[in-house]
Amino acid sequence: MTNVVKLKKGLDINLKGKPQEKCLEPLQSDTYVMIPDNFHGVIPKVIVKAGDKVLAGTPLMFDKNHPEVKFVSPFSGEVVSVDRGERRKVLGIVIKKDVQNGCVDFGKKNVSSMSAEEVKALMLESGVWPFIKQRPYDVIADPAVAPRDIFVTGFDSAPLAPSIDYVAKGEEANIQTALDALCKLTQGKVYVGLRQDSSLKLKNVECVTIEGPHPAGNAGIQAHNIKPVNKGQTIWTLSIFDLIIIGRLFNNGSVDFSRIVAVTGSEIQTPCYVKAYPGAKLSDLIGSNIVKSDYKQRFISGNVLTGESVGNDGRINFYHNQITVIPDGSDEHEFVGWALPGLAKYSTTRTYLTWLFGGNKQYTIDARLRGGKRALIVSGQFEEVFPMDIYPEFLYKATLAFEIDKMENLGIYEVAPEDFALCEFVDVSKTELQKVMRQGLDALLKEMN
Amino acid sequence: MKALRNYLDKIKPDFEHGGKYEKLWSFFDGFETFLFVPNSTSGRKGVQIHDSVDSKRVMSIVVLALIPALLVGMYNVGYQHFLAIGESADFFSTFFYGFLAVLPKIIVSYAVGLGIEFAIAQVKHHEIQEGFLVSGMLIPMIVPVDTPLWMIAVATAFAVIFAKEIFGGTGMNIFNVALITRAFLFFAYPSKMSGDSVFIRTESMFGFGGGQPVEGFSGATPLSYAAAGKDLVGITGEPISWWDSFLGLIPGSIGETSTLAILIGALILLATGVASWRIMLSVFAGGAIMAQIVYMAGGSTLDMGYQITLGGFAFAAVFMATDPVTGCRTNIGKYIYGFLIGVIAIIIRVFNLGYPEGAMLAVLLMNIFAPLIDFYVVDANIKRRLKRANA
């Protein structure tokens, strides 16, 4: 039988706006934008200019530190402009999609007859390599380092996340092909963490059943509880949603970056799925499917814990399968809110009386901090939502002080900022844990290389 | 509310940088966030929603939990007063006398402490931190009723500045601020913090009450009788039963006498999840076990029932030891930390005749050791992880 990992710690925030299982055709965006900032740690070198015609799979830029890692155009069209900001930082490569759907032909492949080097070369060339992240540091995997194991997260447990069973419908062959390709890339095993009720039947890989609340779907949490990363080791992590795109490359011989994106949140009229390309405008994906309001709304690419507030005309992140719209709350002034009984306020503590009446209620939570920033006061909070054998508060403090020995000892190589998202949510002192952890990991990467 | 909001928005620019009341910015900000939940929103990246709880809410729950002990304490001050002067008084007058006797202490403690907090927040240009909301309520509750107001003022100022602000403010302090206040009073003005003459007030408050003590009156606390090896008696010589000590109608510091009221507070803290049940439970366990050992070995005439209900033990277990900032921060550490507080409190009580009460010193002592305990708990985790890597 398959292995089972039972996680007790964590938290499922019951938000309003879960996606229903139906897929709408979104508006087509005029232009799409490839945003280098989506690829953390990459120093972009742009190799196209305005007016260039590109096909799906034509490289747009590469990483200066790893020139072999290419970032390609997701469809055929014309480069409209390369937008730059201060100090010529590349903000985005704007592409206008055409209707010819031309694509670079990489040739249909039979994975089983390919060598590891061929698989790697094809993935690097075709622009699907950036889907592979590595621990330590949670950045795009270094192709020169062989991973001990590869961990694929087989579901997304974040609030309002898309259901893999729905998204993967009809794509099972592509997922299997991608897994076969990954098997070539490691001497170790390829682990896939799945929910017990998952309908996916996967071969040639080690399937592990993960039980428990969010963050059970995080790669770091799964790896830690299956086979943890130690100092000096490297593992690769991927999301099963991205395997669909990788599998298409091998099966079709061309890249197809279109995804099924969940449009979620309490401000969406009918939360559902839409088919979208990376870099599409959020307002086009939402269309008229939004609650009319006289208050401010917040448009998030990704989920409410790790996403980015990009605005109505912002672009969906290259990695995201979800957009979320919630009330912003900045125009709300709540009178002596801290002193009221608080019958409808969401809190994991029982300091508001909601817990007496809550039950299975779905909550609408706006983006307010709901308090001032303080030094850490309450203890034991983070541990409750952090299912690893790591002391999150001590690791955070070591990272804040950038004491490398302590960070290593306390487990910095196993974590990604996303693993601290729930800690950040529950924190009484409203600390920006993910930001501090990201900076710490970046500084450590620089220090160690 | 809209009018108030509009008014605040109108005067806000005056308090901001360059405004005419710039020097009162921290005061305005403290007042504004007190009235309205801040509407600042999450950053562009990172968590987009937050739990509704904040430090104001946590602190106000603790203050709420202190109220039962405070009210019973006020009643007891009046009760002991009228008992001492040999007058009978109805419930209302009894409470009213206690209210008048305690209120000035609360006002002085808050005025001095918050005054310093506001000033420092202004100098450092940060928000008012609400840690003192709790300390300011604790301080009047852990002093005898006859401690002069100026002493409370001096001790509070000392504690807020030297136990808290020089370490960086709320969340950074090593010692429990309220207990430093009490320790300062205890060592600087011992005659006003212990002995026979400070726990019962016989003078009038603002012209209310007052009189001559009855014959045979003694203001000693039960613990000082116990330390001297005598039977427990009340101020007029009648014996004290366990129920008296549990309900709190005995001489003692203002808020510490009623174990029942303290337990109601404990219930509030535990139900809301604000205080650590691990610490609270293990303080009581440590105290009870040590008390029973000492009792059975003949070291004390008090069994564990009395040791826990008398003096400041229960108050320290519920409100002092559970301070998250000065206690252990790991869950395993919390058990050790609490247990040792209980044990040491009883040891000081029983074996050091100079100090009839040991709870305060036990908590302060363990405040020092809390980081050490955490260090070893975390170190065990590190060793376990290294072992895993080498396996």
Cβ separation B35–A335 shorter than 8 A: yes
Residues of A in contact with B12 (CB under 8 A): none
Residue B25 domain-assigned?
Answer: yes
Domain ranges for chain A: 1-28+105-329, 29-97, 382-448
Average pLDDT, chain B: 89
DSSP state of B29: H
* Shortest Cα–Cα distance, B270 to chain A (Å): 9
Residue B134 domain-assigned?
Answer: yes
Residue bearing the bigger pLDDT, B177 or B353: B177
Q: Range with the lowest mean pLDDT among A3-12, A47-56, B19-28, B51-60?
A: B19-28
Residues of B in contact with A391 (CB under 8 A): 330, 378, 381
Confidence of residue A354 (pLDDT cuts 50, 70, 90): confident
Do B279 and B249 reside in the same domain of the chain? no
Do B201 and B293 reside in the same domain of the chain? no
**pTM for the full model?**
0.92
Per the DSSP assignment, residues forming a β-bridge with A152 are A192, A238
Query: Residue A126: its pLDDT value, please?
Result: 93
Do B201 and B65 reside in the same domain of the chain? yes
Residue B49 near chain A (CB below 8 Å): yes
Out of B33, B40, B58, whose CB is closest to A428? B58
> Among the ranges A26-40, A418-432, B38-52, which has the highest mean pLDDT value?
A418-432
Give the integer Cα–Cα distance in Å for B203 and A166: 79
Amino acid, single-letter form, for residue A395:
L
Do B170 and B252 reside in the same domain of the chain? yes
CB B192 within 8 A of CB B143: no
Q: Looking at chain B, which residue has its C-alpha nearest residue A369?
A: B41
* Shortest Cα–Cα distance, A321 to chain B (Å): 17
Instruction: Provide the number of CB pairs (under 8 Å) joining chain A to chain B.
Output: 208
Give the integer Cα–Cα distance in Å for B175 and B304: 28
Cα R_g (chain A), whole angstroms: 22
Q: What is the mean pLDDT of the segment spanning A205-216? A: 93
Chain B from 324 to 363: CB within 8 A of any A CB: 324-325, 327-331, 334
Give the integer Cα–Cα distance in Å for B104 and A294: 49
Residue B385 domain-assigned?
Answer: no
> What's phi and psi for B326, nearest 5 deg?
-95, -5
Residues of B in contact with A435 (CB under 8 A): 43, 45-46
Give the integer Cα–Cα distance in Å for B318 and B313: 9
Q: Looking at chain B, which residue has its C-alpha nearest residue A304?
A: B48
Residue bearing the bigger pLDDT, A111 or B31: A111
Residues of A in contact with B61 (CB under 8 A): 351
* Shortest Cα–Cα distance, A286 to chain B (Å): 19
DSSP state of B195: S
Residues of B in contact with A308 (CB under 8 A): 44-45
Query: Residue A1: its pLDDT value, please?
Result: 44
Cα R_g (chain B), whole angstroms: 23
Give the integer Cα–Cα distance in Å for A268 and A91: 29
Cβ separation A379–B169 shorter than 8 A: no
Do B284 and B200 reside in the same domain of the chain? no
Residue B238 domain-assigned?
Answer: no
Confidence of residue B375 (pLDDT cuts 50, 70, 90): very high
* Shortest Cα–Cα distance, B250 to chain A (Å): 33
Residue B33 domain-assigned?
Answer: yes
Q: Range with the lowest mean pLDDT among A119-123, A332-336, B302-306?
A: A332-336
- Does residue A439 surpass a pLDDT of 60? yes
Q: What is the mean pLDDT of the segment spanning B44-58? A: 89
Confidence of residue B102 (pLDDT cuts 50, 70, 90): very high
Do B188 and B279 reside in the same domain of the chain? no
Q: Which residue has the tokens 């590595």?
A: A134
* Shortest Cα–Cα distance, B293 to chain A (Å): 32
Residue B271 near chain A (CB below 8 Å): yes
Residue B9 domain-assigned?
Answer: no
Which of A225, A306, A343, A349 is the best mutation test for B, with the most CBs of B within 10 A? A349
Cβ separation B329–A380 shorter than 8 A: yes
Cβ separation B47–A425 shorter than 8 A: yes
Do B73 and B192 reside in the same domain of the chain? yes
In chain B, the number of structural domains is 2
Q: What is the mean pLDDT of the segment spanning A145-161? A: 94
* Shortest Cα–Cα distance, B170 to chain A (Å): 7
Amino acid, single-letter form, for residue A372:
G
Which secondary-structure segment (H or E) carries A140?
Answer: strand A139-140
Do B249 and B280 reside in the same domain of the chain? no
% of chain B with per-residue pLDDT over 90? 52
Query: Residue B79: its pLDDT value, please?
Result: 92
Out of B35, B55, B328, whose CB is closest to A371? B55
Do B169 and B311 reside in the same domain of the chain? no
Residues of B in contact with A434 (CB under 8 A): 45-47
Confidence of residue A358 (pLDDT cuts 50, 70, 90): low
Out of B35, B172, B331, whose CB is closest to A375? B172
Confidence of residue A359 (pLDDT cuts 50, 70, 90): low
Per the DSSP assignment, residues forming a β-bridge with A327 are A297
If one counts every other C-beta atom within 10 angstroms of the C-beta of residue A221, the result is: 29
Residue B42 near chain A (CB below 8 Å): yes
Residue bearing the bigger pLDDT, B276 or B126: B276
Do B280 and B254 reside in the same domain of the chain? no
Cβ separation A328–B325 shorter than 8 A: no
Q: Mark B175-192 as b/e (b = at least 16 C-beta within 10 Å).
A: bbbbbbbbbbbbeebeeb
The residue among B205, B208, B151, B201 whose CA lies nearest residue B181 is B151
Residue B322 near chain A (CB below 8 Å): no
Residues of A in contact with B44 (CB under 8 A): 308-310
Cβ separation A350–B382 shorter than 8 A: no
Residues of A in contact with B381 (CB under 8 A): 389-391, 410
Do B322 and B250 reside in the same domain of the chain? no
Residue A197 neighbours by CB under 8 Å, 6+ apart: none
This complex has an ipTM of 0.90
- Does residue A2 surpass a pLDDT of 60? no
Do B25 and B69 reside in the same domain of the chain? yes
Q: Range with the lowest mean pLDDT among A5-19, A249-263, B42-56, B119-133?
A: B119-133
Which of B8, B34, B37 is the best mutation test for A, with the most CBs of A within 10 A? B37
Residue A147 neighbours by CB under 8 Å, 6+ apart: A134, A141, A185, A186, A188, A234, A235, A236
Residue A135's region, left for phi above 0, alpha for psi from -120 to 50, else beta, is beta
The residue among A46, A41, A39 whose CA lies nearest residue A84 is A46
Q: What is the mean pLDDT of the segment spanning A183-191? A: 93
Confidence of residue B155 (pLDDT cuts 50, 70, 90): very high
Residue B52 domain-assigned?
Answer: no
Give the integer Cα–Cα distance in Å for B321 and B30: 28
List the domain range (segments joined by +) for residue B93: 15-37+57-210+223-228+244-260
Q: What is the mean pLDDT of the segment spanning A145-173? A: 93
Chain B from 51 to 90: CB within 8 A of any A CB: 51-58, 60-61
Confidence of residue B49 (pLDDT cuts 50, 70, 90): very high
Distance between alpha carbon A268 and the CA centroid of its chain, in Å? 21
Burial of A170 (0-12, 13-18, 19+ CB in 10 A): exposed
Residues of A in contact with B56 (CB under 8 A): 338, 371-372
Chain B from 196 to 255: CB within 8 A of any A CB: none
The two structure tokens encoding residue B232: 């427990």
Range A29-97 classified under CATH 3.40.50.300: no
Residue B280 domain-assigned?
Answer: yes
Out of A334, A367, A390, whose CB is closest to B36? A334
Distances in whole angstroms, Cα of residue B114 to Cα of each of A124, B169, B183, B289, B300 = 62, 12, 20, 40, 42
Query: Residue A444: its pLDDT value, please?
Result: 95
Confidence of residue A352 (pLDDT cuts 50, 70, 90): confident
CA dihedral sign, ordered B223, B228, B232, B237: negative
Out of B51, B56, B386, whose CB is closest to A426? B51
